[in-house]
């Protein structure tokens, strides 16, 4: 990213807890971990400059989140977020119990992201976890360059939206580890499977094995193909007549 990039005029305005976990990271088991995910219901126009919500978060933080002392956190206007992936998920407590303890979203208690979606008025099919890459840029915007449109929206008022990347906050290797952990953690709560996943959809049946004569349980797929069920096989089951 040596050449310039053009930011959207709208800023990525987020709670201080999320911002600090993304930019400075948090300590867990004597290890520095950076957050790279965020919950959302609409597609945002990345890349975007990161700005902070002025007031305290309305969501409950974990002990790790509280230890960050986010209300004292401030940043220069020189960090930007790029969207790398988005995953449409079902709002299940089991999902949040997993990713709020495995290093992905540990600054929040599971009830926080669950309620974020449960209490909003958006179509549940729009619920998503977005995977972000955070970069520091060479340029720094001033306070006068940032215009508060509402409690949730800031805009860059400067005419110049062209910036250059200084460095990524985390290494490529760390980012790929986060992506892999995320995709493994959310697989059972996705609304649609990840690209490349083979999911069998059909009807449960019992058949006699043509090789040994024993009965085996499997799935008769919609194409008429019988697939024996084996430990570790991932299936999609539709209940009904």
Phi, psi of 179 (to 5 degrees): -60, -45
Residues 88 and 143 grouped into a single domain: yes
Are 233 and 145 found together in one domain?
no
Distance CA 17, CA 73 (A): 8
Cis peptide preceding 214, ω within 30 of 0: no
DSSP string, 163-219: E-EEEESS-HHHHHHHHHHHHHHHGGGBSSPPTT---EEEEEEEEE-TTT--EEEEE
Strand duo 146-148 + 154-156: pairing:
antiparallel
- Going from the C-alpha of 193 to that of each of 30, 96, 138, the distances in angstroms are 34, 18, 38
- In the chain, the N- to C-terminal Cα span, in Å, equals 55
Around Cβ 186, how many Cβ atoms within 10 Å?
21
Centre a 10 Å sphere on the Cβ of residue 132 and count the other Cβ atoms it contains.
26
Considering the domain boundaries, does residue 194 fall inside one?
A: no
User: How far apart (Å, rounded) are the C-alpha atoms in residues 115 and 112?
Assistant: 5
Low-confidence ranges of the chain (pLDDT < 70): 1-3, 195-202, 209-213, 221-225, 232-241
72 lies in the same domain as 185: yes
Tell me how crowded residue 87 is: count the other CB atoms within 10 A of its CB: 19
Structure tokens given for 221: 């797929």
Same domain, 76 and 117: yes
* Residue 121 Cα distances to 21, 41, 220, angstroms: 27, 10, 39
Q: Based on the domain organization, do 219 and 104 belong to the same domain?
A: no
* Nearest residue to 89 (alpha-carbon basis) of 122, 45, 64: 122
Cα(22)–Cα(170) distance, integer angstroms: 9
| The pLDDT value given to residue 225 | 65
pLDDT on residue 241: 46
- Asked whether residue 195 is domain-assigned, the answer is no
Tell me: do 148 and 230 sit in the same domain: no
Indicate whether 82 and 181 sit together in one domain.
Answer: yes
Q: How far is CA 236 from CA 44, 72, 193, 204, in A?
A: 31, 47, 10, 11
Same domain membership, residue 178 and residue 64: yes
Same domain, 227 and 151: no
Enclosing domain of residue 229: 200-237
Dist. CA 134–CA 109, nearest whole Å: 23
21 inside domain: yes
For residues 126 and 17, membership in a common domain is answered with yes
Q: Is residue 78 in some structural domain?
A: yes
Residue 53 lies in a domain: yes
In a domain, 152, yes or no: yes
Q: In a 3-state reduction of DSSP, which class is residue 226? A: strand
The answer to whether 117 and 91 are in contact (CB under 8 A) is yes
Same domain as 42, residue 149: yes
Overall number of domains in the chain = 2
25 and 138 in a single domain? The answer is yes
| pLDDT attached to residue 220 | 75
* 73 lies in some domain: yes
pLDDT of residue 134: 98
């Amino acid at each position: 990213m040596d050449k310039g990039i053009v930011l959207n005029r709208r800023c990525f305005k987020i709670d201080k807890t999320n911002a600090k976990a993304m930019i400075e990271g948090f300590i867990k088991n004597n290890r520095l971990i950076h957050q790279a995910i965020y919950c959302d219901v609409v597609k945002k126009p990345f890349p975007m400059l990161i700005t902070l919500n002025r007031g305290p978060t309305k969501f409950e933080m974990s002990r790790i989140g509280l230890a960050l002392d986010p209300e004292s956190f401030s940043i220069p206007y020189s960090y930007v977020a790029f969207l790398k992936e988005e995953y449409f998920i079902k709002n299940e407590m089991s999902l949040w119990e997993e990713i709020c303890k495995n290093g992905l979203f540990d600054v929040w208690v599971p009830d926080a992201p669950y309620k974020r979606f449960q209490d909003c008025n958006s179509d549940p099919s729009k619920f998503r976890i977005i995977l972000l890459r955070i970069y520091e840029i060479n340029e720094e915007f001033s306070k006068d360059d940032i215009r508060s449109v509402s409690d949730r929206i800031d805009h860059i008022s400067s005419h110049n939206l062209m910036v250059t990347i200084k460095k990524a906050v985390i290494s490529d290797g760390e980012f790929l580890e986060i992506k892999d952990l995320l995709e493994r953690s959310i697989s059972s709560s996705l609304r649609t499977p990840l690209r490349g996943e083979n999911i069998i959809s059909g009807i449960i049946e019992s058949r006699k094995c043509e090789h040994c004569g024993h009965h085996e349980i499997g799935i008769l797929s919609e194409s008429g193909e019988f697939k024996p069920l084996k430990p570790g096989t991932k299936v999609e089951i539709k209940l009904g007549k």
